[in-house]
Amino acid sequence: MRLEDFDTGTTYDARVISTQRITPVASSEEVREIVLEVERDSFDYQPGQSIGVIVSGDHPQGHKHHFRLYSVADTPPTADGDKPRIALCVKRCNYIDEYSGERYEGISSNYLCDRSVGDSVTINGPFGIPFAVPDDLETDLLLIGMGTGIAPFRALVRHIYEDIKDYKGKVRLFYGAQSGLEMLYMNEEKDDFSQYYDRDTFEAFKALSPRPNWADPIAMDYALEERSEEILAMLDSSRTRVYVAGRADILETLDRVFSHMIGSSEHWARRKAELKAGQRWVELIY
């Protein structure tokens, strides 16, 4: 769905409760976790869904309302009577115009990263298909994310192990980033996933670019191929769900790797179509 097609008519006020850089200062990438409190009695959303952020003003491209989506990075618990809260994981985006060579600041991501505690933000949503916790608590989950695509999995894994508690299916998380410094929630600033490493059902695998200072692709293919036996068995089982999140190029990588693992691109295309038809393959792609 194109951004222009989203309903931006109904909006809500939210207030910044906390904002914290979650990439080490040594990293050239700034990613922040921003917790918002929504000025409403209830605001229902689930991991895998996204929240819209609307930045009004006279923007350089001439538009008045700049609308962008951010996936839910946590579902922070609130006490009775408290207003609902949402955590977002926002990467400060800057880009160079390929014709003029000028550097532009991404409007919404810079706006969010510059907000201070107490500031207001206009939001809407939630949007998108959730990464639902299956009713059958023995369902295996294959979670694959790149970059800020880790955000929904941070929310989902925490929900599974802290709220659901008796989840019995295995959870395999594959996470790719350009370098160890950009491994969100798995770096020296914040290592949230480490608290689940002692769970029998949970394993996390990191995929890094072989040469972090170059523009080499992240080695997600190696990370997956190394565990192909287990992954193929998971894909064969009607008890597995696959959730994928991150920028669109992750899909090309996954099609290539899974085609290779499974034997041919035709075979993989059929398997993926079956998974999708059975709602066992869900994507959050941007």
Ligand X SMILES: Cc1cc2nc3c(=O)[nH]c(=O)nc-3n(C[C@H](O)[C@H](O)[C@H](O)COP(=O)(O)OP(=O)(O)OC[C@H]3O[C@@H](n4cnc5c(N)ncnc54)[C@H](O)[C@@H]3O)c2cc1C
Minimum Å gap between C-beta 167 and ligand X is 24
We find the least distance from the C-beta atom of residue 246 to ligand X, in angstroms, to be 8
- What is the DSSP pairing of strand 281-285 with strand 240-246? parallel
Q: Which is nearer to ligand X, 84 or 149 (CB)?
A: 149
The minimum distance between CB 148 and ligand X, in angstroms, equals 4
For CA atoms 94, 97, 102, 108, the dihedral sign is negative
233-235-237 Cα angle (round to 5): 70
Helices (H), the chain: 107-114, 151-158, 220-226, 228-236, 249-262, 265-277
CB 212 within 8 A of CB 177: no
Nearer to ligand X, 106 or 180 (CB): 106
Site residues, ligand X (CB under 6 A): 50, 66, 68-71, 89-91, 93, 95, 106-110, 128, 148, 151, 284, 286
Q: Which residue has the tokens 């990370």?
A: 223
Residue 90 Cβ vs ligand X, minimum distance, rounded to whole Å: 5
Distance in Å, CB of 231 to ligand X, minimum: 25
> Based on CB atoms, which residue is closest to ligand X, 106 or 212?
106
Can you give the C-alpha Rg of the chain in angstroms? 19
* Smallest distance, ligand X to C-beta of residue 38, A: 17
**Please, what is the angle between helix 249-262 and helix 265-277, to 10°?**
110
Q: Which residue is nearest to ligand X (CB)?
A: 106
Nearer to ligand X, 156 or 234 (CB): 156
How many other CB atoms are found less than 10 A from the CB of residue 230? 14
Classify 231 as helix, strand or coil.
helix
Residue 130 makes CB contacts below 8 A (sequence gap 6+) with: 46, 47, 48, 49
Q: Specify the residue, 204 or 250, whose C-beta has the smaller distance to ligand X.
A: 250
Q: Which is nearer to ligand X, 69 or 242 (CB)?
A: 69
